[in-house]
Amino acid sequence: MKIIAVYHNKGGVGKTTTVVNLAAAISKKGKKVLVIDLDSQANTTFATGLVKFDDEEFDDIRESNILHVLQSEDFYSISEVARKSNFCDPEIDVVPSHIDLMNHETDLNALDYSRLILIEKLEEVQENYDVVLLDTPPSLNFYARIALIAADYLLVPSDLKPFANQGLINVKDFTKAVNAFRKQIRKEPLEILGVVPCKISTNAKFINSTLKNRIRKVSERYGIDVFNTVIYERDDLAKCGEKTIEVGNMEVAAPVSVLDFKPNSFSAQEFELLAKEVLKKIGMAG
C-alpha cells in the first residue's frame, strides 16, 4: 500500500479537484483506492458525494469521521469509518471530514500518541488498498503535519501563479521539519513526487510562453520536479462536480468524476495521464 499526501499551503490551487479525479483515474487502473479527507472544510467529502444535503438535520457524518479516527486509539478503525463513494466506477472508499475538526486541533495536538495514530490505523488496512490519497488543509497545521508524517510520498498541486510558487518555500521547509520527526521514529524521509500544474489556462499564448517559463522556474528556483501532465481549467471539470439529482422535492448533490462524466474529454485524458505518471513514480506502473 502506497500513501500519498496531496498538499500545498496555499488554497485555491485545485487540490480537491486533483485528489478526487486522480483517485477515480487510479481506481480505473484496477487499483483499490482510499481517500482520507483531513481538511475541516470537507471539500473532498462533498466532492465525492458523501454529503447529500446542505441541511444540518441530515448530517450523518458528524458521528463518524476522520476526527473520531484520530481521537481514539482503540475504536473507530478506518474500516469502520470509511464509506463507499459511487462518485466513480469502480467505486472508491472515503474517510470523510467534518467542520468539527477545527475545534479539536489543540486537544489532539496535546496528546502524546496523536502524531502516530494515523500511521497505526493505516497499517491495519494495508491489505485492503493499493493507494491511499491524503487530502490536507492548505496550512501548516496539525492535520497537514500528521498527513505528511503518515505518507510515503508528497504530491503538490499548484496553479503555478507567483504566490503559489512562493509558497513552495514553505512546503519545502514544512517537509524538512516533518522529515526530522520521521527520522526520530525510524521512518524514511518523505519523497516529493513533484508539482502538478493545475487550473491552468487553455489560452494558447499563455501555454506557449508564460506556462513554460513558470514550469522552468519551479525546477530551477525551488528544486522540485514538475509533472509532465498538466491539468487545464475546463468546463467539463467544473460541471462534473456540480451534478445534482432530484429526490422528491429536493435537489441533491450527485457529483461524479470527470472520467465518468465525459470519458473522452480532454480533462478525463489528462487525469488518466496523471494517474499513469503517479503510478510509475511510486513503482506501481503496469
- DSSP label of 239: H
Output the tens digit of pLDDT for each of the chain's 286 residues. 999 999 999 888 999 999 999 999 999 999 999 999 999 999 999 999 887 655 555 667 888 999 999 998 899 999 999 999 999 999 999 999 999 999 999 999 888 888 999 999 999 999 999 999 999 999 999 999 999 999 999 999 999 998 888 899 999 999 999 999 999 999 999 999 999 999 999 999 999 999 999 999 999 999 999 999 999 999 999 999 888 787 777 777 789 999 999 999 999 999 999 999 999 999 998 5
DSSP E strands, 43-103:
83-85, 92-95
What's the pTM?
0.95
Q: Is the N-terminal amide bond of 138 cis, ω within 30° of 0?
A: no
Residue 166 near residue 16 (C-beta atoms within 8 A): no
Q: Count other Cβ atoms within 10 Å, centred on residue 282.
A: 18
> What gap in Å lies between CA 271 and CA 196, rounded to an integer?
11
* All domains in the chain, ordered by first residue: 2-281 (3.40.50.300)
In a 13 Å sphere around the CA of 221, the CA atoms on its Cβ side amount to: 13
